Amino acid sequence: MTNSRKPSVLFVCVHNAGRSQMAAAFLTHLGGDRVEVRSAGSAPADTVNPAVVEAMAEKGIDLSAQVPKVLTTEAVQAADAVITMGCGDACPVFPGKKYLDWQLDDPAGRGVDAVRPIREEIERRVRALLDDLGIQPRPQAR
């Protein structure tokens, strides 16, 4: 990403209620306005997983107002990088896009204790993604 336009990243999972919400929140929190961030699901849930909301609150990130969004072809077309997390064949593929598939446990139906290690792995991967994008993470408030 060497041009002056800020990179755009789309995180996709099935329900957009856990993994993709955490990844988008971390990228927004750490990348600030230097990156455009979206998340979506191939079959969005009605609400974000409460254990995910609680786990992210422990990191000082509030997901309580987030709502799962449906994956659209337009969202994929607008992204420079599309990161899938178990959406399988439901995610459309376009030439010229960078695609990554992050194999992560699904937090659906799990308590906050089970979500924490997933959260930590997502944060680690988001930090590596920022490095790949040439974006220095903002300092942590905590």
**Model confidence over 43-74: pLDDT tens digits?**
999 999 999 999 999 999 999 999 999 999 89
Whether residue 135 contacts residue 129, with contact meaning beta carbons closer than 8 Å, is answered with no
Residue 141 a catalytic site member: no
Q: Would you state the structure tokens that stand for residue 125, as one six-digit string? A: 């991967």
Quote the pLDDT of residue 97.
81
Rg (CA), the chain: 14
Clarify whether 13 is annotated catalytic: yes
pTM: 0.91
Domains and CATH numbers, the chain: 8-133 (3.40.50.2300)
Q: Does residue 95 surpass a pLDDT of 80?
A: no
**Choosing from 13, 14, 30, 79, which is the catalytic residue?**
13
Q: What is the pLDDT of residues 68-90, one digit of tens each?
A: 999 998 998 899 999 999 766 66
Q: Cα(53)–Cα(58) distance, rounded to whole angstroms? A: 9
87 is catalytic: yes
